[in-house]
Structure 1
């Protein structure tokens, strides 16, 4: 009779695997010997060895269970099923590798594709701070998840920013100014100055924001508020001030 360690060694597997096969019901719980240790017999060794060999072929425990049952399934059927599954995996892997090759060749961001992804790359090329770029990307991802219908308007807004050298420089000034607000107090006059400059340089922003539909406040609004709360106080004040001024409200 064998201890669990001896059984695992002879079968070419691990003690952990033997315990897992037992928990899965593939081998019977063995009796304990006079010393209180579990003692495995010949059939347990044969069964564990079979499981190990079948696992090495790639069969799942459920498939192996069918092969070990009272009415065992034919091994050829199980291998045919496995072969079909592997063929499907090969197709998926080939498609994934093709997509990866396309992404590497184009430098496209798989998370933020299209013009918005291109905008992020342009900001990176212009030397915008990495933390600010990460915030910008996270904001775009949040919009993609919670409000995909507004992506067209958002793309139009960024397209406006990149409408020429002057506007592009305006966007870069905005990004850098927003970054500098992180070290400013909440009541800093730089908040109003940055908002006024942005609206003056980009008069179309007001029109674009006014075209957005205003819906009931819901969990998505709470998520955006939670996201904005991750910014420094002066940066948060700038975001809310911009929204108020763009729709013609007075700042509180």
Structure 2
């Protein structure tokens, strides 16, 4: 039995009380399935007999069978949501990667490549655990092309000390999801006062934040949630963007030889 389909077929026979009960059941099936007959009646300000009569109108034996159908409805919705998320993730990831290539093709990296070529040391700072993994990937990419890259520990003091330690032509890559980390932004402002020769490159999510506005070069990546969790995002776009930038740097360096 499909509870939603049955409700649509029987809706013409519903009175106002039936409509109120059905509206709640379909909107909050998980919550309703956890309530007893008495609790549901009290919550909706209706009688127990009104719920029982509605169950009969729907072709059910009583409240127990109604709760079973609610459980089935919940299972179908969860399965549909999971399937939709799987489709959305695949489609969204493909779109994001395509958008990354389009975005990259519109960039002029001539000055960045020139600064990278002059940089004796490249510092990399990140503001989260996923960003830390990206930082390691970026450092490894620089290592492969013979550039000295140092990953800074994720501590405020490390950024503060960089203003004193960095040399002319050195570069600092900051990887941040949102680009709005107030603590880091304040420290970067101080560094700019102490050492305005340090080139700042930001790699942040698609929405430009304060970090991007402070940077000599700013790059953006897109994310999308994994199908199993809306709290965990894929950063595939960032890795693709790094590969494209590194490859472009090598192309321009070879052209100059």
Structure with higher strand content? 2
Q: Which has the larger radius of gyration?
A: 1
Q: Fold conserved (TM > 0.5)?
A: no
When the two structures are superposed, what TM-score results if normalisation uses the length of structure 2?
0.28
Higher RCO, 1 or 2 (CA under 8 Å, sep at least 6)?
A: 2
Name whichever structure is richer in helix by fraction: 1
